[in-house]
């Protein structure tokens, strides 16, 4: 049985954003069942957990002795068993991986850089300006397509939409009709809704 790690409780403002959600969502898309190993906040830094995740973070994925960390790597691994996440055709598959990397390498660092700065931090305005510019480029690339690579949802959209969700408390995505509709389209998928329910249900 697949086991993933998740927190048993986190502050309200990050519920629905903790990165095990990406893995739960990918598992739902793939139709794979799993159990969540719930950690009280803080236990992720204990040596026995760090032996599995060197940075002391959730999620990890475990199956038949294989242990993986990094949500992107885990989603790609699950994608090997799910054609709707990773298409079989070589070019489409490479483009899906390209968007996974873009979401984690070209978008998420700037989202996190902004999100981690307090409102009174003088660096925040510059971080916001850069982020808005980068997201305008993403929006331009998305254009009128429903998904990043065109007509079909892939692992790239799973990662990109969860990265954009981090900005839910701001108007940075919601003020862009294309990106905002894109996030809504991705997160309306039954697999996302089941994953979100499962994460929320595990908090107590
Ligand atoms: N790049 C990692 C980031 C994982 C991450 O930031 N996890 C957060 C929860 S969303 C965490 O465990 N934070 C607790 C900590 O860093 O101590 C991934 O995508 O898996």
Compute the average pLDDT of residues 163-168: 98
Ligand 1 centroid vs 90 CA: distance in angstroms?
Answer: 31
What is the end-to-end Cα distance of the chain in Å, rounded? 24
In this prediction, residues 83-103 reach a mean pLDDT of 98
Q: Is 19 in the pocket of ligand 1 (CB under 6 A)?
A: yes
Count Cα atoms within 13 angstroms, Cβ side, for 132.
12
22 lines ligand 1 (CB under 6 A): no
Tell me the per-residue pLDDT of 17-35, one tens digit each, with 9 for 90 and over.
Answer: 999 999 999 999 999 999 9
Interatomic CA distance for residues 53 and 102, integer angstroms: 23
Tell me the CA–centroid distance for residue 11 and ligand 1, in Å: 14
Look over the chain and give the mean of its residue pLDDT values, rounded to a whole number.
Answer: 97
The yes-or-no verdict on residue 165 having pLDDT over 90 is: yes
- Residue 204 clears pLDDT 90, i.e. is over it: no
CB of 58 sitting under 6 A from ligand 1: yes
134-154 pLDDT, tens digit per residue, is 999 999 999 999 999 999 999
| CA 40 from centre of chain | 21
The answer to whether 195 touches 21, Cβ cutoff 8 Å, is yes
Q: For the chain, what percent of residues have pLDDT higher than 70?
A: 100
pTM across the whole model:
0.97
The first and second tokens of residue 195, run together, are 């994953």
- pLDDT given at position 76: 98
Q: How many helices (H) and strands (E) does the chain have?
A: 9, 4
Q: Are 83 and 153 in contact (CB under 8 A)?
A: no
Residue 116 CB-density burial (10 A; 0-12 exposed, 13-18 middle, 19+ buried): exposed
Using the mean position of ligand 1's atoms as its centre, give its distance from the Cα of residue 151 in Å. 31
Distance 168 CA to ligand 1 centre (A): 18
Q: CA triplet 40, 41, 43: central angle to 5 degrees?
A: 70
Tell me the pLDDT tens digit for each residue of 97-138.
999 999 999 999 999 999 999 999 999 999 999 999 999 999
Per-residue pLDDT at 43 exceeds 90: yes
pLDDT at position 28, please?
98
Q: For residue 181, what pLDDT is reported? A: 98
Please tell me the distance from the alpha carbon of residue 181 to that of residue 47, in angstroms, as a whole number.
Answer: 42
Q: Hey, which residues does 110 pair with through a beta bridge?
A: none
Question: Token pair 């996302």 is at which residue?
Answer: 192
- The three-state secondary structure class of 13 is helix
pLDDT of residue 75 exceeding 90: yes
Ligand 1 in reach of 148 Cβ (< 6 A):
no
pLDDT the model gives residue 188: 98
């Amino acid at each position: 049985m697949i086991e993933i790690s998740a927190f048993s409780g986190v502050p309200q403002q990050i519920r629905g954003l903790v990165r095990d959600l990406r893995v739960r969502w990918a598992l739902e898309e793939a139709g794979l069942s799993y159990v969540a190993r719930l950690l009280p906040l803080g236990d992720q830094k204990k040596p026995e957990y760090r032996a599995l995740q060197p940075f002391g973070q959730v999620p990890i994925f475990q199956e038949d002795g294989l242990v993986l960390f990094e949500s992107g790597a885990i989603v790609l691994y699950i994608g090997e068993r799910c054609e709707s996440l990773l298409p079989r055709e070589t070019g489409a598959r490479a483009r899906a991986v390209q968007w996974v990397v873009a979401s984690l390498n070209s978008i998420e660092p700037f989202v996190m850089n902004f999100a981690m700065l307090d409102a009174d931090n003088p660096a925040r305005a510059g971080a916001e300006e850069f982020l808005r510019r980068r997201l305008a480029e993403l929006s331009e690339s998305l254009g009128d397509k429903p998904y990043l690579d065109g007509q079909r949802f892939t692992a790239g959209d799973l990662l990109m939409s969860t990265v954009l969700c981090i900005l839910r408390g701001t108007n940075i995505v919601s003020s862009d009709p294309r990106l905002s509709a894109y996030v809504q389209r991705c997160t309306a998928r039954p697999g996302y809704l089941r994953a979100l329910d499962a994460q929320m249900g595990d908090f107590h």
